[in-house]
Amino acid sequence: GESVGLHLPTLSVQEGDNSIINCAYSNSASDYFIWYKQESGKGPQFIIDIRSNMDKRQGQRVTVLLNKTVKHLSLQIAATQPGDSAVYFCAESFSGGYNKLIFGAGTRLAVHP
C-alpha cells in the first residue's frame, strides 16, 4: 500500500491545554493538505486544509502549519476539549492526481478531564 500504517502514536493532554499533532508528508510535489478527525465507528471528518502556497491557516480553535522545506505539517488545537478525543490524520494530494489522497498513519488524541 501507499500510506504508512505503523503503530498509532497517542497524544494525551489535559482538558483546556493546547494540543499539537505532527505529520510528515511524503511527496514534495503535493500541493494540498488536509487534516481529518475520525471518531470510533465514523468516517474521517474534515477539520482544516491548506494549500502549498500558504504557511499557516487558522480555523475555529484549530491552526495548521505547513513547512515545505522539511515536508512537515502540524495541527494545533487550542483549549482542547473531551470532544476532541479521536484519531487525527493528515492527508496530502497533488492537483495532477485528481482525488487521490495519501494519508499519514494517524495520531490518537486522548483528552483527560
Binding site for other proteins (CB under 8 A): 1-6, 8, 32, 34, 36, 41-46, 49, 51, 89, 91, 93, 95, 97-106
Beta carbon nearer to other proteins, 8 or 79: 8
Q: Based on CB atoms, which residue is closest to other proteins, 3 or 15?
A: 3
The CB-of-113 to other proteins minimum distance in angstroms stands at 27
DSSP 1-34: --S---PPPEEEEETTS-EEEEEE-S-TT--EEE
In angstroms, give the least distance from the CB of 22 to other proteins.
16
Contacts of 111 (CB under 8 A, 6+ apart): 13, 14, 15, 19, 80, 81, 82, 84, 85
> Which lies closer to other proteins via its Cβ, residue 80 or residue 89?
89
Min CB(85)–other proteins separation in Å? 18
